[in-house]
Amino acid sequence: MATLVDRGYLTKDRQDRYHMPPSMRARWATDDVGQLLVASHPPMRALNERLQETVILGVLDRHFQVRVLSKLASPQEVRYDADASIPRPAYCTAMGRVLLAHRPKHE
Consecutive H or E run containing 56: strand 55-60
- Matching CATH number, 32-107, of 3.30.450.40, 3.40.30.10, 3.40.50.150, 3.40.47.10: 3.30.450.40
Q: Is the pLDDT of residue 88 over 80?
A: yes
Interval 11-54: pLDDT, tens: 888 888 887 776 666 555 557 787 888 889 999 999 999 999 99
Phi, psi for 103 (deg, rounded to 5) = -85, 155
Report domain extents, the chain. Answer: 1-30, 32-107
Mean pLDDT (the chain) is 85
Residue predicted with more confidence, 82 or 26: 82
Phi, psi for 81 (deg, rounded to 5) = -140, 130
Instruction: Write down the pTM of the prediction.
Output: 0.67
